[in-house]
Amino acid sequence: MSLLVQTLSIGASQSILDAVKCIEAGALQIAFVVAEDMRLLGIVTNGDVRRHLLQGGMTDQPVTACMNQEFRSVRFGVPREELLKAFDLGHNALPGLDTEGRLVEVYTRQMAASAEVPVLARARAPVRMSFCGGGADLTYFFVDHPAAVLSCTVGLYAHATLIPRDDGRISIFAEDLGHEEHYNSLAELLAVGDKSLLATIVAVIKPKYGFDLYLRSDFPVGSGLGGSSAATTATIAVFNELRQDRWNTYEIAELAFQAERLCFGIAGGWQDQYASAFGGFNLIEFENQRNLVHPIRLEDSIRNELESCLVLCDTGISHDSGRLHELQRQEMEAESSQTELLHSSVALCRRMHHYLIRGELQDFGRCLDEAWHLKKRFSSAISHGRLDDIYSAALAAGALGGKLLGAGGGGFFLFYVQPQHRQRIVRAVRDLGCQTQNFRFESSGVTSWRTKIQ
């Protein structure tokens, strides 16, 4: 029961004089007559008292003798919108009743704004689809040789939810893996030697409050879509949502690189974090002194045609991108020809960028085939007999080109095919035990928001 209810309510057995005293004590000039169980029986104003006295009534009579039983009330907890409309129609005070008709609140035009309630944060980050340039985004290459990659993001996401706690405890739930971790404090988490990826991200951010963190994904582990980077980016963004001094998109991507590559130790390049953070079609350039993300503005017709001509194929073979990147690095250090291959990859990337922005998509599709044959020369571990069989079957069914996404060894193939031949491709790869995955391009990068804790 609110203080206003206590001040303005009187019992049914009290006198009219008591009602006058109650009315005069409050600025609203009104009294609410209630039964012993606080059910609202009627309302009394100065006008009701005057009418009663003019009709010969006495002030020592029970207040029920002059109360008005034809009153407007609202249910307790009514939306503010409904109250504002009632006040705008001339009402100064409205009794708020519970389901039993008991007086719980008195609403006035001076009602306070809603009290602040606890919030949780959510974020989602899309995975990337790399067309060309992968491998050139490795630091040991671009510190000496300018590099570029061409990629886009698609509507498959890593989803993160962060629920702050008051007790300093930390709980982490990796829902896809069925794995959870619990710590009594941040200090306890930091003291752990062999951390999970999510715990490593927390160790980099070092939040000053306890929380429950949940992560789930729309894609399988080892897909070649940069899934671990999307998960890392979403996790950083969900903490960023609750910061007063927020990190910008470059800072989010760089924190993701720090957590995933340097602290957790997954070998790999830089493109995945930037792609997931920025979203859309991008040409990303890497140099020793700076990394730059150049958004690509495609005409709708080009974007729609490209989306219609691409087939995403899950080989069902998981891969270890970190091991493949480490192997590529070793082979590059041993053979100078690796550097020339990466230069060729960067040059091809710029050609594909040209074809893409001009809508010359047939040439773009053929370049995917060039990119695949070039990629296979980086390391003997990138492809094997089953992957070669899948690729050959797709080309025989009508694909102009394609490539394995990610570091290689498994995951998803991307094929370019004219839509009228699409079903032939789908049947051909399914006959080899693969599944095709529908997708749409995603123009936004990592997105975060907050909502009330229900």
Q: Which residues are catalytic?
A: 272
Provide the pairing of β-strand 310-314 with 119-132. Answer: unpaired
Residue 348's H or E segment, with its range, is helix 337-358
DSSP, collapsed to helix, strand or coil, labels residue 84 as: helix
Give buried/exposed letters for 11-22 (b at 16+ CB in 10 A, else e). eeebbbebbbeb
**Chain centre distance of CA 102:** 43
Give buried/exposed letters for 258-287 (b at 16+ CB in 10 A, else e). bbbbeebebbbbbbbbbbbbbbbbbbbbbe
As a dihedral over the C-alpha atoms of residue 221, residue 410, residue 440, residue 233, rounded to 10 degrees, the angle is 40
Separation between Cα atoms, residue 62 and residue 15, nearest integer Å: 4
Residue 304's H or E segment, with its range, is helix 300-309
Handedness of CA 75, 76, 79, 83 (dihedral sign): positive
Separation between Cα atoms, residue 280 and residue 442, nearest integer Å: 6
Contact, 59 vs 20, CB < 8 A? yes
Decide: residue 437, CB within 10 A, 0-12 exposed, 13-18 middle, 19+ buried.
middle
DSSP secondary structure, 137-181, as one string:
TSHHHHTTS-EEEEEEEEEEEEEEEEEEESS--EEEEETTTTEEE
